[in-house]
A = this chain, B = another copy of it.
Amino acid sequence: MTESTESAEERLIARHLRPLATHPGALGLRDDAAVLTPPPGCDLVLKTDGVIAGVHFFADDPPDTIGRKALRMNLSDLAAKGAKPLGFLLALALPAGIDEAWLSAFAAGLGDDAVRYHCPLLGGDTDHTPGPISISIAAFGAVPFGRMVQRATAKIGDCVMVTGTIGDATFGLRLRRDRKLAERWRLTDAMARHLEERYLLPQPRNALADAVLSHATAAMDVSDGLAGDLGKLCRASAVAAEIDVARVPFSNAARAVIAAEPALIEAALTGGDDYEILLTLPPERLAGFRAGAQAAGVAVTEIGRVQAGEGARFVDEGKPLAFARPSYSHF
């Protein structure tokens, strides 16, 4: 017999994923592996992060957002490291019963973001799973040789900066679980929608990567809560930080939630899924960084200072906040 028939797995890849594999090194997803010529004078920045239905997203989320979220989580890390995206690998585990419409919408969202963020699909792996939908991405970026912005390099006296707004996604998740909260929090429809969308779809700050690379002493993306992630940055850098809670940037919607239920300030500062960049820079770099951020169209806010010592202190009207659970953790 002549073995020239494509398997169902090959057909799935051909129909839904091959259109995303526009990079020549993806070899049309027809090879075992992809090939990438590193940009001259650059280091590669490597990151893997993934999403699992029921853990990081809801199985009935719009399928076009699910692949986007998985890719954007990784793009956010590349941005925080000052890296320019080069491409990604996709490991997809699908339960039986995923239909063509789901796959088609999933791939369309992912493909749209691959173009938007200049991060093409290079290769992948598809499997059936008895478990929930699981999407694992490994993303690659480039930084000039020796220049990746690390966590461990914050300096005493640095300004602590954060992009965008904090806490929206964790409030969005609570709303997604219990839509009656919108009433209790006295949110307008637009506010509720804003919070839910911030949970559904991160807005990675890749436009800011150049400014981070040029000005930051240290940076990381905020994915497990501002308080916990700043704690990690402080530990890695062997410094302390004092944050003025009054300066932490909140959206109007998050402000409304906190006004309705002041104890939720803790949720805003410790909840996950912000996908903003937390960075430190010397005060003399502040003006240059602000100019770069303005040019990139990304809001940045100075929220505190790096100090000698250890730990991240959050001070609200002169009073330190105590958190029951500083950071989101899977374990």
Query: Which A residues fall within an 8 A CB radius of B?
Result: 1-12, 25, 27, 30-38, 42-50, 52, 54-56, 77-78, 80-81, 83, 89-91, 93, 122-132, 134, 136, 138, 140-141, 143, 145, 148, 150-152, 220-221, 224, 227-228, 230-232, 234-236, 240, 310-314, 320-323, 326-327, 329-331
Contact = CB atoms under 8 A, between A and B. Distances in A.
Given A48-B91, A89-B46, A331-B7, A55 B129 contact: yes
A231 B50 CA distance: 32
Given A4-B311, A54-B130, A130-B131, 14 more contacts: A4-B235, A6-B235, A9-B329, A11-B331, A12-B331, A30-B232, A31-B152, A32-B47, A33-B45, A33-B141, A36-B43, A38-B43, A50-B93, A91-B136
A52 B127 contact: yes
A232 B145 CA distance: 39
A9 B235 contact: no
A129 B329 contact: no
Nearest to A327: B7
Count chain B CB atoms within 10 A of each CB in A141, A220, A221, A330 and give the residue with the most.
A330
Given A30-B151, A33-B148, A125-B49, A329 B8 contact: yes
